[in-house]
Chains A and B, each alone.
Chain A
Amino acid sequence: MATPDLSVAIGSLTLPNPLIAASGCFGYGLEYEHVVDLAALGGVVSKGLFMKERQGHPPPRIVETPAGMINAIGLQGIGVHRFVKEKLPLLNAAGARTFVNVCGTTLDEYVEVCKVLSDAEGVAAIELNISCPNIKEGGIQFGCSLEGTYGVVNAVKKATHLPVIPKLTPNVTDVASFAKAAEDAGADAISLVNTFLAMAIDVETRRPKITNVLGGLSGPAIRPIAVRMVWECYNLVKIPVIGMGGITDARDVIEFMLAGSTAVQIGTQNFVDPFVWTKVLDGLADYMTRHNIAKISDLIGAFDPTPPKATHA
């Protein structure tokens, strides 16, 4: 059998494989250049960027929970101008396909950041961060109302030629309706899920485990919920779905693809194992060989809802 074809298409964008490094879990990509070949990934999503630099929240910013972690970094970042000047040329030189995670406290700021990126050389796509649970202004305010989601996607689409991928929050009653609002507003794809709003208390001191009190839960603990949400969105919209939430290995990637993901993002597992990428790529090729699948894109939404056999296994 020929080498398995791992390539996937997100609108006009073709990726050599479906693995994308998730925003906030991979720095600006360059931090990992010495442990992973950035060109070998499907893509890299930058840390969230506003117009200006941000300091983020005071530490402690993370706490571990069973099979997961809660974070409230607070979108510390260097701002879009410094990113374009200092990071983007190096990402391009490394052969990375760079997705930029765009944040805003106002609708105008989203539009302005996207304009700066449109004028820059070598941005593959924009991921619109309308789902960060950890900042007070902007972000999730847009992501938690259908009108807000439609409005920001619509405004950004008018301001840029780049593919626009809103990143959806799971902290809503019906995430698929937000996927639909994004599609109606012209989104080229959607990505989900961002983290689940969460909290952990130190029972000895009765105080919060992290400074921001609330944070976002990620890691394997959230995976089954994320798979369900991807499946719901896939059934409602026609644009590609980029799935994420607790992926640790090739098996998890396949699960998300069967549920309807065209590509996937890996986040927290990159903290656990920065060498995860080649292991997953090897695992995908192995799965495809075992199941005699020539093109990985054939797996997208190929979930079979026939009830499983009752066994004692």
Chain B
Amino acid sequence: MPPVDIDATVIANVRLSRDYSVLSLAAPEVGTRTRPGQFVMVKPTGVTDPLLRRPFSVFEVLRNGAGEVTGVSILNKRAGRSTKRLYELEPGDVVSCLGPLGVPFTPVAAPRQAWMVAGGVGLAPFATLAETLAASNTPTTLFYGARTADELFYLDFFERLGITLVLTTEDGGHAAGRHCIKGRVTIPLEDALKAVGPAGAMVYACGPEPMLEAVAKLAARYNQPSEVSVERVMGCGLGGCYSCVVPVKHGGENANLVRSCINGPVFDGAELVWD
């Protein structure tokens, strides 16, 4: 289905911390079309600075009490001018929301396990993927790393879906009674890969690029498939500008720079070429 462009009213903007917020948008036409891993292009309406929209993975597909889709939310981390504006929005404000866009994740099914690896704001695409995997009773684990425990969000949400949580913090701090391993998220991931059973696991990853590289290489080393969601500076989201390219290699071919907006953002981890 083609993407739609909506002037979406802000339903809520819940600040999770000094930098993170969950921005909920009234955009039912976007929500009903979204598959896990897809993204939307968002910016406040009526401004020329910032001029361009920013890409955000769809975080949640929102539903009302009757189960009807009412919109989508995005997980926003305040980093630059545009994300600062989005962090400051209030209910009733309006943003331009184009989507859904891009290639989604490929959900696996039991007996294969699903392992979602998230670093920081890279949690974003995994809420919808977790719902899909839970609905098909696929055994699913979320490996989730952050700098500190107060930047680990939505843990209850994933637990309610029956997702196993494996948490890491760089300072070793624990999150509300939950044990966190000190260090990078790749430490428990490698331990799990060493012990993976014959049914195997699909490794999904989203987060900082060094983490994506480490995860894709680990999965390959232990002969497990991986799908990683990349984030590049993106101009249009539709394949028009050629800003968001990443090097991709199919089989024995030379690497090509391909557009992460239409050929991604989800790529086979084995096909991405790392600098």
Residues from chain B with a CB closer than 8 A to the CB of A275 are 5
B220 in contact (CB, < 8 A): no
Whether A73 pairs with B48 at a CB distance below 8 angstroms is: no
B2 in contact (CB, < 8 A): yes
A151 to B62, CA, bound (A): 61
Whether A56 pairs with B242 at a CB distance below 8 angstroms is: yes
Whether B245 pairs with A56 at a CB distance below 8 angstroms is: yes
Residues from chain B with a CB closer than 8 A to the CB of A220 are 48, 51
With A61-B233, A273-B5 already in contact, the answer to whether A32 and B52 are too (CB < 8 A) is no
Q: How large is the interface on B (under 10, 10 to 19, 20 to 34, 35 or more residues)?
A: 20 to 34
A262 to B241, CA, bound (A): 26
Residues from chain A with a CB closer than 8 A to the CB of B233 are 59-63
A32 to B242, CA, bound (A): 14
A147 to B178, CA, bound (A): 73
Q: How large is the interface on A (under 10, 10 to 19, 20 to 34, 35 or more residues)?
A: 20 to 34
With A61-B233, A273-B5 already in contact, the answer to whether A26 and B240 are too (CB < 8 A) is yes
Whether B257 pairs with A35 at a CB distance below 8 angstroms is: no
CB distance from B249 to the nearest CB of A (A): 13
Residues from chain B with a CB closer than 8 A to the CB of A273 are 5, 96
Whether A56 pairs with B257 at a CB distance below 8 angstroms is: yes
CB distance from B154 to the nearest CB of A (A): 30
Whether B51 pairs with A73 at a CB distance below 8 angstroms is: no
| Nearest B residue to A35, CB-CB | B2
- Picked from A26, A27, A59, the residue with its CB within 8 Å of the CB of B244 is A59
A268 to B244, CA, bound (A): 15
- Picked from A25, A26, A27, A61, the residue with its CB within 8 Å of the CB of B245 is A61
Whether B50 pairs with A270 at a CB distance below 8 angstroms is: no
A-contact 0/1 string along B236-255, CB 8 Å cutoff: 10111111111000000000
B-contact 0/1 string along A267-306, CB 8 Å cutoff: 0101111110000000000000000000000000000000
B200 in contact (CB, < 8 A): no
Residues from chain B with a CB closer than 8 A to the CB of A274 are 5, 98, 236, 238, 240
A76 to B257, CA, bound (A): 9
Whether A24 pairs with B51 at a CB distance below 8 angstroms is: no
B188 in contact (CB, < 8 A): no
A17 in contact (CB, < 8 A): no
B165 in contact (CB, < 8 A): no
B-contact 0/1 string along A52-65, CB 8 Å cutoff: 00011001111110
CB distance from A244 to the nearest CB of B (A): 15
A55 to B247, CA, bound (A): 10
A90 in contact (CB, < 8 A): no
Whether A69 pairs with B52 at a CB distance below 8 angstroms is: yes
A262 to B26, CA, bound (A): 41
On A, residues with C-beta under 8 Å from B are 24-27, 31-32, 34-35, 47, 55-56, 59-64, 66-69, 71, 73, 76, 219-220, 268, 270-275
Q: List 24 A-B contacts (CB under 8 A).
A: A25-B241, A26-B240, A27-B238, A27-B242, A31-B239, A34-B3, A35-B3, A59-B233, A60-B232, A61-B243, A61-B245, A62-B233, A64-B52, A67-B49, A71-B235, A71-B241, A76-B245, A220-B48, A271-B236, A271-B241, A274-B5, A274-B98, A274-B238, A274-B240
